[in-house]
């Protein structure tokens, strides 16, 4: 797996939340043999042994159930320990969600309306307004739980010399939303091990639903930015596409908010072929502003 990634011209690897425990010895061996450099890790890594698949949101820091929050914290400490052992510099975190209506159903409703050509109509504007207002009403209590967890994780991050990247999410139901993210980053601005992790695909999906302006939001988060997941979006919401393959993300405009030393980790669907990735890499190298 790692050899294939390196053969495509990438310099390092981010280990994702879907990897099973059985793969860890082989990954460690590749690092020990200096065949691979692990730049970062995405929580939870490896996947919890009780999970049946890729479940990064199986346990949430925002849950009203204390045992679930404790399990999420325990698994995150394990992830951070593995990251430090593998020489990684960062860990990407999902913070949780606000459970109103059905899970993620409100955002999916807006996506269905977009696919049906209702973007820009009064019907869409009214429904979007209802959902956003409800999210604003319910959000604070869940964001407070996420904030408490982040405070608990910050000291461990410093101990292991890791940066924690709080990932921008794709659904209104997820925590933090954009105002909450800005507030969290301002509160932890003096902590050198906490920062914002930008996901081009996630934020573009919200841009496509008229929930934000992608470039304006990224510009507001630039002081806290530590890295990103690179993927494109086929309108309105099919993300994890290879860049420049018919997607909507304006990488040429957005990459200028990054610094050359920041990790830009490609997070792609398994439907992307080797040829897709190689073609995208050629265009990507020409697009970089440094």
Mean pLDDT of 8-34: 92
End-to-end CA distance of the chain: 29
* pLDDT at residue 102 is higher than 70: no
For tokens 């994890």, what's the residue? 240
Q: Mean of the per-residue pLDDT values for the chain?
A: 95
Q: Which tens digit of pLDDT belongs to each residue from 40-50?
A: 999 999 999 88
Using an 8 Å Cβ cutoff, are 62 and 146 in contact? Answer: yes
User: What are the start-end ranges of the H helices in 98-250?
Assistant: 105-115, 122-159, 178-187, 200-208, 214-221
Whole-model pTM: value is 0.96
Q: Which long-range contacts (CB under 8 A, 24 or more apart) does 79-84 make?
A: 79/41, 79/43, 79/44, 79/45, 80/153, 80/156, 80/157, 80/160, 80/162, 81/160, 82/24, 82/41, 82/45, 82/46, 83/38, 83/40, 83/41, 83/45, 83/160, 83/162, 84/160, 84/161, 84/162
Is residue 104 a contact partner of residue 131, using CB atoms and an 8 Å limit? no
DSSP letters along 112-141, please?
A: HHHHTT-TTSHHHHHHHHHHHHHHHHHHHH
Tell me the percentage of the chain whose pLDDT exceeds 70: 99
Query: What pLDDT is recorded for position 221?
Result: 98
Q: Homologous superfamily of 2-99+139-287 in CATH? A: Divalent-metal-dependent TIM barrel enzymes (3.20.20.150)
Lowest mean pLDDT among 52-56, 68-72, 215-219: 52-56
Is the bond preceding residue 3 a cis peptide, omega within 30 degrees?
Answer: no
Q: Please check whether residue 56 is in contact with residue 44, taking contact to mean a CB–CB distance below 8 angstroms.
A: yes
Mean pLDDT value across residues 67-73: 96
pLDDT digits (tens, 9 = 90+) for 178-230: 999 999 999 999 999 999 999 999 999 999 999 999 999 999 999 999 999 99
Q: Does position 101 have pLDDT exceeding 70, yes or no?
A: no
Residue 33, number of CB atoms within 10 A of its CB: 8
Domain ranges of the chain: 2-99+139-287
pLDDT for position 100:
76
DSSP 268: -
Task: Enter the tokens of residue 10.
Answer: 């990438």
If we measure between CA atoms, which residue out of 218, 182, 219, 225 comes closest to residue 203? 218
């Amino acid at each position: 797996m790692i050899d294939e990634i390196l053969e495509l011209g990438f310099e390092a690897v981010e280990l994702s939340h879907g990897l099973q425990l059985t793969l860890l010895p082989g990954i460690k061996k590749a690092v020990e043999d200096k065949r691979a450099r692990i730049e970062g890790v995405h929580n939870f890594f490896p996947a919890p042994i009780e999970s049946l698949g890729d479940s990064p949101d199986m346990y949430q820091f925002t849950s009203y159930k204390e045992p679930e929050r404790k399990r999420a914290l325990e698994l995150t400490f394990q992830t951070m320990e593995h990251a430090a052992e593998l020489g990684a510099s960062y860990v990407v975190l999902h913070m949780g969600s606000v459970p109103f209506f059905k899970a993620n159903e409100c955002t999916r409703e807006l996506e269905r309306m977009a696919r049906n050509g209702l973007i820009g109509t009064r019907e869409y504007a009214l429904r979007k307004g209802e959902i956003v207002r409800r999210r604003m009403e319910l959000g604070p209590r869940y964001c407070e739980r996420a904030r408490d967890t982040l405070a608990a994780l910050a000291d461990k991050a410093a101990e292991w010399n890791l940066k924690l990247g709080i990932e921008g999410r794709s659904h209104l139901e997820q925590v933090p939303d954009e105002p909450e993210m800005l507030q969290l980053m301002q509160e932890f601005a003096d902590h050198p091990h906490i920062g914002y992790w930008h996901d081009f695909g996630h934020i573009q999906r919200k841009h496509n639903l008229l929930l934000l302006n992608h470039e304006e939001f990224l510009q507001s988060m630039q002081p806290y930015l530590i890295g990103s997941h690179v993927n494109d979006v086929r309108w309105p919401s099919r993300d994890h596409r290879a860049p420049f393959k018919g997607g909507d993300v304006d990488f040429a405009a957005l990459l200028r908010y990054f610094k050359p030393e920041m990790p830009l980790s490609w997070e792609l669907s398994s439907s992307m072929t080797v040829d897709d990735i190689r073609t995208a890499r050629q265009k990507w190298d020409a697009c970089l502003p440094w």
